[in-house]
Amino acid sequence: MKLAVLFPGQGSHTVGMGKDFYDHDPVFRTRFDQIDHRFHLDLKSLCFDFDPRMEDTRYAQLGTTILSSLIVENIMKRIDLTSAYFLGHSLGEYSALYASGVFTFDDLLRVVGKRGEIMADASKKHPGGMAAILGGDEVLIEQLCDFLRKEGFYVTIANYNLPSQTIISGTLSGLEEFRKNLEMTSAKRMILLKVSGPFHSPLMGDARQEFESFLKQIKRHNPRITILMNCDGKPLSLERLDECLAYQLCHPVRFYQSIHHLSNIGLNTFIEVGPGNILGNLVRKLLPNAEVRSINTVEDLTRLEELC
């Protein structure tokens, strides 16, 4: 069976994420406790409780990445994914890189920790936020962003989630000015997102440069599984890894374009690995006839085994 494995990004984390695996799967629990003991993150609080650290980009990214990575480890012990395609949404790209063998687990946490630190610092220098535009025309949204930037209000597209759901990023004044002109896009609603900065925009330019330099220190290996990269929706070329990961900080995530690419090459089964079901719901809207599973519990994994 040809399938795609999807890894969610920051913002997908929920209180109690991973607790069902911890309570009912001894192998998962042992691995979870080993990581917690080694890196001193108090993972139980971070993942299972209402932990204020999850408001901090650095901890939100580490917690989400660790959970997605442990769940996919569990899946790969039971199901052969070597012929699958991996696709991460923003932060989710790092769990995909780990699961495919590009990074070791230690290097995964080094990279994600540094990414969160750099993004948090860049957000302090260039404060801003992000918002979801629901029901708007993508071309009209782009045109409004272009117009507002010329008027001195910085705002740009950050994520192409659906043709009818676009995420924008920018300064707070830019987002507010976009809201005032929302009717120009034919959008139904604009919802501010609970993020701490203007991610996936050129306002992260300082972070991009520093992160690309840092990545040169990290050893990487050829992927065992095909990964589609956010920067262009094409399979990973290892020599372009640093460039693609750094580029992603300042440019849009092309999610729905990547899903359509997977559909066009014959994939009709999509497995979301990690907290929540945000990506699964997006795929259901894009491909109503697709088989979509979100793996958040041991029972979800058992049903997946039956499917595969």
β-pairing, 129-134 with 189-192?
Answer: antiparallel
Is the Cβ–Cβ distance between 88 and 96 less than 8 Å?
yes
The model's pLDDT over 8-67, given as tens digits with 9 standing for 90+, comes to 998 888 888 999 999 999 999 999 999 999 989 999 999 999 889 888 888 999 999 999
| The model's pTM | 0.94
**Residue pLDDT, tens place only, 219-240:** 999 999 999 998 888 899 899 9
How high does pLDDT run on average in the chain? 94
Count of Cβ atoms closer than 10 Å to residue 31 Cβ: 19
| In contact, 18 and 32? CB cutoff 8 Å | yes
Q: What's the pLDDT at 13?
A: 82
Q: What is the pLDDT of residue 28?
A: 94
Give the rounded percent of residues in the chain with a pLDDT score beyond 90.
Answer: 86
- How far, in Å, CA of 249 to CA of 159, rounded? 11
Reduced to 3 states (helix: H, G, I; strand: E, B; else coil), residue 240 is helix
Q: In this predicted structure, what is the pLDDT of residue 1?
A: 67
Residue 196 has pLDDT above 90, yes or no: no
Residue-level pLDDT at 224: 94
pLDDT at residue 216, rounded to an integer: 93
Distance CA 254, CA 157 (A): 10
Any idea which residues carry the catalytic annotation? Answer: 90, 200
pLDDT confidence bin for 307, thresholds 50/70/90: confident
In this structure, of 19-23, 278-282, 301-305, the range with the lowest mean pLDDT score is 301-305
In this predicted structure, what is the pLDDT of residue 55? Answer: 85
% of the chain with per-residue pLDDT over 70: 100
